[in-house]
Amino acid sequence: MMLARRIGGKLGGLLLTLFLASLLVFFSRFLVPGDPIRFLLRGRKPSAEAIELVRAQFGLDLPVWQQYVNWVTGMLQGDFGRSLQYRQDVSTVIGERLPVTLGLVVMSGILIGVIGLASGIIASLNRGKPLDRSILIGLTVLGAIPSFVGSIVLIAIFAVQLGWFPTFGSGEGFLDRIYHLVLPSIALALVFVVLVGKVTRSSMVEQLGREHVEVATSRGLRRAVVIRRHVFRNAIGPILTVSGMLVAGLIVASTIVEAAFGLAGIGSLLVASVDRLDFPVVQAIVLLVVAAFVVVNGIIDVLEPWIDPRSAAGGSAR
Amino acid sequence: MSAPTPTLAVRMMRGPRLKRAASWYFVSLGVLAVMTLAAVFAPFIAPYDPNLVNLSAVHQSPSIAHWLGTDSLGRDTLSRMIFGARTALLGPLLVVVFSTILGILLGLVAGWRGGWLDAVLGRFFDVIFAFPSLLIAIMAVALFGKGLVAPVIAMSIAYAPFVARLTRQLILSERSRPYVSAYRVQGFSGPWIALRRVLPNVTPIVGAQSTLNFGYVLAELAGLSFLGLGVQAPTADWGAMINEAQAGLVGGYFLPAIVPAVAVVIVVVAVNIIGEELSDRIGGGVPA
Amino acid sequence: AQEEGGGGIEWEMTTQTAAPSGDIDSFSWASYAEPYTLDYAYAFDYADNQVLANVCESLLRLNPDFTLTPGLAESFEHPDPLTWVYNIRPGVTFHDGTPLTAADAVASMSRIIDPAVGASWYSVYQNVVSIEQTGDMQVTVKTGIPDSQFNLGMGGSAGVIESAATLAAAGTDYGNSSGGVNCTGPFSLDKWQQGESITLKRNDNYWDTDLTAKSAEVKIVFINDATARVNALKSGDVDGSWMIPMEGVTQLQSSGAGEMYYGLNTAVSNLVISNLDGPLGDPNVRKALLMAIDRQGIVDAAYKGVGEVTDVHTTKSVWVGASDAAVTAAFDGVEDYPYDLEAAKKLVEDAGVAGEELVFVTAPIGNDFNVIAQATAAAGAAIGLKVTIQTVTPNAYTTLFSDPSAREGVDLFYTSWYLSSPDPLEMYGVLRTGEFSNYGNWSNPEFDALVTEALGIDDPAERSAVTAQAQALANAELPWLPLFTGPTTMFLGKRITGVAPSVAYLYYPWAATIGAR
Amino acid sequence: MTLLDISELTLDLPNGNRLLDGISLRIDAGETVGLVGESGSGKSLTARAVIGLLPDGARTSGSVRLGQTEVLGASVTQLLDLRRHTASMIFQDPRAGINPMRTIGDHLTEALRLCEGKSTAEAKTRATELLAAVRLPRPDDHMNQYPHELSGGMLQRVMIAGALTSSPQLLICDEPTTALDVTTQAEIVAVLAEQRASRGMGMLFITHDLNLAASLCDRVYVMSAGRVEEHGTARAVFGSPQTPYTRRLIEATPSIALSAAETAELAQRESAPAVAGGAQAAEPMLEVEGLCKSYRRRGKAPVDAVKSISVSIPRGGALGVVGESGSGKSTLARMIVGLESADAGGIRVDGRDRTTVPHTRAERLAHARSVQMVFQDPYLSLDPRIAAGRSIEDALRLHSKLDSRAARSRVLELLDQVGLAAQYADARPRTLSGGQRQRVAIARALAIEPDVLVMDEATSALDVSVQAQVLDLVADIRTERGLTVLFISHDLAVVRRVCEETVVMKSGEVVERGQSVQLLAAPQHPYTRLLLDSIPRPAWESDARESAAANA
Ligand SMILES: Nc1ncnc2c1ncn2[C@@H]1O[C@H](COP(=O)(O)OP(=O)(O)OP(=O)(O)O)[C@@H](O)[C@H]1O
Ligand SMILES: Nc1ncnc2c1ncn2[C@@H]1O[C@H](COP(=O)(O)OP(=O)(O)OP(=O)(O)O)[C@@H](O)[C@H]1O
Ligand SMILES: [Mg+2]
Ligand SMILES: [Mg+2]
Ligand code: NI
């Protein structure tokens, strides 16, 4: 009962966040100097009636609040409006490109999880030793490689010089898609691997110093068991929290990687749409990113009592 | 009745690490100092006008005349690197300074004042957290046009909640410490304690953490330039230079792209080393 | 190292590549961008048109040599200066199997002048007053004033005929990736994978057996990044592409993956003068600026030397049907503007505008934009004018061409202006007083009179003599500063051949000609 | 049979610091050995060395034989075997020692399941038995509970049960009751003694509380700075300490045993019961009337921290407040110093109303001059960034118009009064020891020259010897300045050293009040009696008492 209330409260908070974010996203466009109509009618002498026609067609003639309500209700029904640029439903435009970005994000996510956790755990178990230091230095340097630099280097070496990977496109079919996304997901993962690695390390180190770990050791549990059951298990919380915060960042960072690898995901769509004042698309993507953030963090919040039973009681974590 | 000492693990960690890391710390400080000096005195140091086009000397390899060669317009890469350091360093610096000031103020208000104000600010932070900084920067570019100004303002806002949340947390834990109660009992006013005593105790930790943002901001601003949404040509900027030089890569002209890329990596590494070392040092001075 | 910079590329013009040895199952082609639409009413850019040209056909056909021959109109008549009668070809079917009728033609053409559609090709129809079906297979178009250019425009997207039923059914989704198109071309639209590729399938019922596609399938992949595009061509992932980034040409040639071709083009690179109230209001200052720009340097730096400096606004390729005398007059009888800083400086000083400021707007679209902006700034500096470069988004740059308010405070910008019809008059029509694309509001009554006169002349040879005079005037006055012309570039991989490298690929079903090497 | 034999154990850190220096210690089967000494003397290190838990990179010499095995240099499997079968350890803080993210059941059964290979059901049965053995009320329910759902005392029982799962021959207890209340401590000690007896285990019992060691141990070792200072039977060591260090330690340890003079005085007073009226005649300096405070927490029942408390202290008097954790002592103190507002009731200091939390500057300063406070934790009650002298100077200058020179000399004067040399004026708190910090805090409170000084557990965080010094200091200041003191502590023995009057609090209420000595001699309220009985006494003394009681 307490738990249900707590989860309800958390979800309410997240929905409020989503609502406020939608306000921000929707009304920001009224700060834009350019008139989207101008773009719609590019290359033509627009007559007043033509402008009105287009305005009505895209619902730009309604009062602002009405536009917002229409927008939100539409979106709740899966109607994201119509792209000015592609003359198509935004949901179609985004829907076609979403799988690429999702694939990219999922593959990077796996890389980030595996490499980040592994490096963090190994470093923490060897803290103060040369291995720890090398991992830390390695992570610091890797983390300093912006994804566009990483992309260029990866393309130059593995796609062009060695020819191991394709230079463009996102492939068709499951395996081909994975093959095509290997390099981009590595480039995307770089910075995030470092963040996860460092959080893992410090969270593990913190837990390693805890007395209950010593207690477990003193009771004759093998080191591997102690690490798994008492150190890693307890270190998961902060790692998950940080990972949750990173999800939205990962989607946004894919803009750069998609641009560099010429992938048709929603990241490159976002940049193109920003450039062309295609507001419905920009708004939908931004809101999608925010929603992804809210959903992932909502899941993590809901999971929290299982990860840290104390939080269910409302006590302070750790 | 035993004294609460910082956990042994923490102390153990600090001991050996500090000494070894220190040399890298000073190297990093040196690197950053050199870059900063180069940026400040760019007009005196740079051998050429960074925008001087020489169509008869494009894509030259390094030579005595052009130490780092020339780009697709025959401009001197070294000179552009030196001038590029200005935007590369200034942007992140401004973001770090603004976001730190803004974040500390908001965090102080939220943490010290508490109550509904804390709740409102907390909600505001939550909303901003849902917008990754690069996304906010891209939106700002869409709204206010390209260049350094819009992204810097946007990223200052994007990063402020991180600073604010840390500040708030520190303020909260600091506020619950008996020394704050002791000041109250002595008759000091709340604002005085907050501003004159608690804030100075919190600022160095927050500042050190903020330093770490510098690297991220630099990379993100460069990424924005790379997308063509940031600093605009012909202004020399490392990210924009990489963007411009990308076309040359197909022709095998790697240098104009690699030089700024390496510079970005070096600065980010240096700043991270400095930030971590500072956090370590400052964090060690305050009882945990 | 010195060599690298100046090292140009050896190039020669090709009109036709070797004939294919036979059919091919499929080939892939790289496009620098995804089409925004395949709706002919909006297809106004390289990316849109190079795909559309293979799927949809026009009343007339613009051939690779820039001649016009009958297309979906079997023949046309011009009974009086205000009337154009098109006889629709019988026995043609759309991709869905329905037959082509005059009603389809009326519906397709009427869309262009429908304000609710807001077509990009409206200017071709600007003088049209009515489009009517005058027989089972006949359409009659009436114009308000004599307009020789209308008929020439029927070879481009403005003349595309789409099934009226499809237009009605698809509604606003017509031409996008979900609505698709239903035309008569040698290929039909098979699959449009957004952001990735468009796949075309051979139309086995194509009416023109000479142009039946030699490939069962064409996959046009969108690769925005120049580096990636070159890499894809080099590695053989993609068989060919138009518009090759010049930086990559050396690599492509040495890779042995295929062959570079240079062919007919109609584009001239110009600096548009958008403010005649400033220092550039004085023709001598315009001349001075042109003479101060190192145009050969630009061609060398931005295009590896592939291109030629020009002093006029058209290429010889569009002077189809012109008299030899007219061509000579138009190209040899005009003033040269050699690179001469001293003379240019003097002109500026004489005009008394030294030290004044010019605003040059550019966008990060390609290296050539960059080079030209920088070279113009350098030229200005050399003759005592301060050229400020303002970089805007590609979109904002696009609005320069559509929105007068976007041009406020702007003195110059760069454009590569290509012609879609085989007549230089298309270019000069634009520069008349009050024309929409006369961005600087340049006005010369003598010029206006010449162009209007030419528009009314139906005989191309006769017309060309008048057009030549207009060209000479524009050359003397320089409402725009012509910089250079370059060939259409194309790369063909080792598997394919047969296509003619010509800018006509924007309207001619080029992919149908490609078969196995 | 010798269970544990440590001889000449020396432990050095990689940086050359010698933490243990030639420790020799022996425990026979079934014997309880105490290890006492001040904080940092190396007690825990010694204990951990027994089960092979050494600091990273530490170098050792000497030998530690546990049963038949040499621990130093033992292989991993040998060590695991020792930990599983021979020795178990109970740690100081049960809250830190049990994984907060796993259930009690998991904590108890994991060793059985993962080390002994018992089935889940078997392990569960055994664990439930053990929980019952350590007298937890609902063993079956507790198995599924998380640590945060249990109190400290219950957790320590869980910890003990956990240590007993492996039926060890030696039980090492590292200050197992330090984090607990006296009453709880008594219960835990009882459980330990019971288990020891029923299982015939040897026990190494570490504590800083000499009384506790005396009550439980057969023999004791006294440690100081990594060495064993003295050892022998408990009675011998505490009865006739041989080294000055042990002697000092014993002297500093507060005791509730009444001295002969006190007993005499008490007897005298009992014969003339009306004398008390004399003290009440004087105008009280601090007067608290019907004070109430309850904390409202969101979504939970409110906590009545203080329920209608009335106390008063005559001018120059000292009142002790004792009570277990959570009884509302601190809340009372915080209301008196104006950190917290009262729900009802009134506070008067020197006749002036001080009930409300001050708001204006004038109110704040006036309130501050009325009452000052010394806080429990000397490590957190000084601003880490501000030098000792500076913090005193801040207070001085807020309350007087002294120029900086005068303020400075006043600071030195105050430091001198609390027994700190002038050089400490510039010291950062971090560089000061706990006792020194608490002196600075006292000097800072005195700088304002308050009417009343509230000390909330001001010595709880200090070692006994340091505590004794600070208590002496307070006594000195009282006699010198006639300061009125409200002294809060959970330790009756400490309170009675400072205060002539004492109140006992329980769940926000005063359950008993009276002269300190009288309270000790003849507690009226059952809770006070429980409190007194819980205080450990040397085994031989309680024997004597019991026999005395039997005689009566
Ligand atoms: N792992 C370690 N690394 C370095 N120094 C240590 C380590 N463990 C203990 N020490 C040091 O060794 C000394 C003795 O510590 P120990 O924990 O044995 O003291 P203690 O007698 O148990 O004190 P307390 O009563 O505070 O628990 C202290 O100075 C402590 O700082
Ligand atoms: N700020 C607060 N909010 C809610 N409850 C509180 C607060 N402060 C104290 N309490 C509760 O009030 C009761 C009394 O607390 P108080 O700190 O006065 O006890 P104490 O006697 O000083 O205990 P200790 O000996 O542990 O210091 C406790 O139950 C405590 O949990
Ligand atoms: Mg200890
Ligand atoms: Mg308390
Ligand atoms: Ni593939």
Q: What is the pLDDT of residues C394-411, one digit of tens each?
A: 767 877 887 787 888 899
Return the exposure string of A101-122: e unless at least 16 CB atoms fall within 10 Å of the residue's CB, then b.
bbbbbebbbebbbebbbebbbb
**Residue A63 preceded by cis peptide, ω within 30:** no
Tell me what percent of the residues of chain C surpass a pLDDT of 70. Answer: 98
Cβ(D44)–Cβ(D206) under 8 Å?
yes
A263 located within any domain: yes
User: Strand ranges (DSSP E) for C52-194?
Assistant: 60-62, 68-70, 73-77, 83-88, 128-135, 138-143, 187-193
Cβ(C491)–Cβ(C259) under 8 Å?
yes
> What's the fold here for domain D284-534?
Rossmann fold (3.40.50)
Tell me how far apart the alpha carbons of residues B268 and A190 are, in angstroms, rounded to a whole number: 14
Q: Collect all residues of chain A within an 8 Å Cβ-Cβ radius of residue C176.
A: 86-88
Give the pTM. Answer: 0.81
How many angstroms separate the CA of residue C194 from the nearest CA in chain B?
A: 21
D–C touching, 3+ CB–CB pairs within 8 Å: no
How many angstroms separate the CA of residue B267 from the nearest CA in chain A?
A: 8
- Put simply, the answer to whether C177 touches A276 (Cβ < 8 Å) is no
Mean pLDDT over each residue of chain D, to the nearest integer: 86
Q: What is the DSSP letter of A36?
A: H
Burial class (CB in 10 A: 0-12, 13-18, 19+), B108: buried
A70 located within any domain: no
Nearest CB partner across the interface for B55, out of C225, C230, C375: C375
* Residue B170 belongs to domain spanning: 35-57+65-283
Q: Collect all residues of chain A within an 8 Å Cβ-Cβ radius of residue D53.
A: 214, 217-218
A218 located within any domain: yes
Q: Collect all residues of chain D within an 8 Å Cβ-Cβ radius of residue A314.
A: 299
How many angstroms separate the CA of residue D441 from the nearest CA in chain B?
A: 9
Q: Report the separation in Å between the CA atom of A87 and the middle of ligand 1, taken as the mean of its atom positions.
A: 73
Cβ(C139)–Cβ(C86) under 8 Å?
yes
Q: Collect all residues of chain B within an 8 Å Cβ-Cβ radius of residue A275.
A: 228-229
Closest chain C residue to the Cα of A85, Cα to Cα: C36
Tell me how far apart the alpha carbons of residues D118 and D110 are, in angstroms, rounded to a whole number: 10
**How crowded is residue C10: how many other Cβ atoms within 10 Å of its Cβ?**
9
The CATH number assigned to the domain holding B198 equals: 1.10.3720.10
Query: Which mean pLDDT values do the consecutive 10-residue runs of chain A (318 residues) have?
Result: 70 85 82 58 54 70 82 84 80 88 93 93 90 89 87 82 77 82 92 90 89 88 90 89 86 88 86 77 88 87 80 48
Q: Where are the domains of chain D?
A: 2-252, 284-534
What per-residue confidence (pLDDT) applies to B233? 65
DSSP characters for D144-202?
A: T--GGGS-HHHHHHHHHHHHHTT--SEEEEESTTTTS-HHHHHHHHHHHHHHHHHHT-E
User: Strand ranges (DSSP E) for C315-447?
Assistant: 357-362, 386-391, 412-417
Tell me how far apart the alpha carbons of residues A146 and B92 are, in angstroms, rounded to a whole number: 14
Residue D227's SS3 state is strand
B223 located within any domain: yes
Question: Would you state the torsion angle of the CA atoms of residues D478, D481, D486, D492, taken in this order, to the nearest 10 degrees?
Answer: 0
B29 located within any domain: no
Token pair, residue C154, equals: 């029927």
Cβ(A259)–Cβ(A268) under 8 Å?
yes
Q: Could you tell me if residue D538 is left (phi over 0), alpha (psi between -120 and 50 degrees) or otherwise beta?
A: beta
Residue with tokens 């602002």: A64
Tell me how far apart the alpha carbons of residues D524 and D526 are, in angstroms, rounded to a whole number: 6
Q: What is the ipTM of this complex?
A: 0.79
Q: What residue type is assigned to position C484 of the chain?
A: F
Q: Report the separation in Å between the CA atom of D490 and the middle of ligand 4, taken as the mean of its atom positions.
A: 9
Q: Is D438 on the interface with B (CB under 8 A)?
A: no
Residue B185's SS3 state is helix
What per-residue confidence (pLDDT) applies to B283? 59
Length of chain B: 288
Candidate of D35, D44, D227 to mutate for ligand 1, largest count of ligand atoms within 8 Å of Cβ = D44
Burial class (CB in 10 A: 0-12, 13-18, 19+), A303: middle
Q: Is A217 on the interface with B (CB under 8 A)?
A: no
- Put simply, the answer to whether A274 touches B268 (Cβ < 8 Å) is no
Tell me how far apart the alpha carbons of residues B164 and D202 are, in angstroms, rounded to a whole number: 55
Tell me how far apart the alpha carbons of residues C94 and C163 are, in angstroms, rounded to a whole number: 7
Q: Collect all residues of chain C within an 8 Å Cβ-Cβ radius of residue B57.
A: 5
- Put simply, the answer to whether A212 touches D149 (Cβ < 8 Å) is no
Helix (H) or strand (E) holding C206: none
pLDDT per position as a tens digit, D75-114: 888 889 888 888 999 988 888 889 888 899 999 998 888 8
Closest chain B residue to the Cα of C381, Cα to Cα: B52
Q: Report the separation in Å between the CA atom of D423 and the middle of ligand 1, taken as the mean of its atom positions.
A: 28
pLDDT per position as a tens digit, D257-299: 776 776 777 667 666 544 444 445 567 889 999 999 998 877 6
Tell me how far apart the alpha carbons of residues C420 and D543 are, in angstroms, rounded to a whole number: 117
Total of domains in chain B: 1
A105 located within any domain: yes
B142 located within any domain: yes
How many angstroms separate the CA of residue A175 from the nearest CA in chain B?
A: 28
B198 located within any domain: yes
Total of domains in chain A: 1
Tell me how far apart the alpha carbons of residues A256 and D68 are, in angstroms, rounded to a whole number: 66
Nearest CB partner across the interface for B250, out of C1, C251, C375: C251
Nearest CA to ligand 2 atom 25: D325
pLDDT higher than threshold 50 for residue B284:
no
Burial class (CB in 10 A: 0-12, 13-18, 19+), A49: exposed
Q: Report the separation in Å between the CA atom of B178 and the middle of ligand 4, taken as the mean of its atom positions.
A: 12
Helix (H) or strand (E) holding C52: helix C46-55
What per-residue confidence (pLDDT) applies to D549? 45
Where is mean pLDDT largest: A251-265, C30-44, C219-233, C475-489?
Answer: C475-489
Q: Sheet holding C412-417: strands in order across?
A: C308-309, C480-485, C268-273, C412-417, C357-362, C386-391
CA distances from B220 to B148, B156, C485, D480, D481 (A): 12, 12, 39, 67, 65
pLDDT per position as a tens digit, C19-74: 999 999 999 999 988 888 899 998 888 889 999 999 999 999 999 999 999 999 99
Nearest CA to ligand 1 atom 28: D40
The DSSP bridge pattern shows strands C24-31 and C240-242 to be parallel
Q: What residue type is assigned to position B130 of the chain?
A: A
Helix axis angle, A64-76 to A279-307, nearest 10°: 50
* Residue A283 belongs to domain spanning: 97-312
Q: What residue type is assigned to position C165 of the chain?
A: A
Least confident interval from A19-23, B91-95, C245-249, C364-368: C364-368
Closest chain B residue to the Cα of D359, Cα to Cα: B189
- Put simply, the answer to whether A42 touches C398 (Cβ < 8 Å) is yes
Question: Closest-lying ligand to the alpha carbon of D55?
Answer: 1
Q: Report the neighbours of B using a cutoff of 3 or more CB pairs below 8 angstroms.
A: A, C, D
Residue with tokens 């200050």: D175
Nearest CA to ligand 1 atom 16: D42
Tell me how far apart the alpha carbons of residues C208 and C185 are, in angstroms, rounded to a whole number: 9
Q: Collect all residues of chain B within an 8 Å Cβ-Cβ radius of residue C298.
A: 55
The CATH number assigned to the domain holding A117 equals: 1.10.3720.10
Question: Closest-lying ligand to the alpha carbon of D375?
Answer: 4
Ligand 2 lined by D490 (C-beta under 6 Å): yes
How many angstroms separate the CA of residue A256 from the nearest CA in chain B?
A: 7
* Local confidence band at B29 (pLDDT 50, 70, 90 cut-offs): very high
pLDDT per position as a tens digit, B229-277: 777 766 788 888 888 787 777 777 888 888 999 999 999 889 888 888 8
Helices (H) and strands (E) in chain B, counts: 11, 0
Q: What is the mean pLDDT of residues D26-44?
A: 89
What per-residue confidence (pLDDT) applies to B13? 34
Residue C493's SS3 state is strand
How many angstroms separate the CA of residue B21 from the nearest CA in chain D?
A: 18
- Put simply, the answer to whether D83 touches A220 (Cβ < 8 Å) is yes
Candidate of D19, D91, D207, D379 to mutate for ligand 1, largest count of ligand atoms within 8 Å of Cβ = D19
Q: What is the phi/psi pair of residue D232, to 5°?
A: 165, -175
User: Strand ranges (DSSP E) for D337-418?
Assistant: 344-349, 352-353, 371-374
> Which one is the CATH code of D2-252: 3.20.20.210, 3.40.140.10, 3.30.390.30, 3.40.50.300?
3.40.50.300
Nearest CA to ligand 2 atom 6: D295
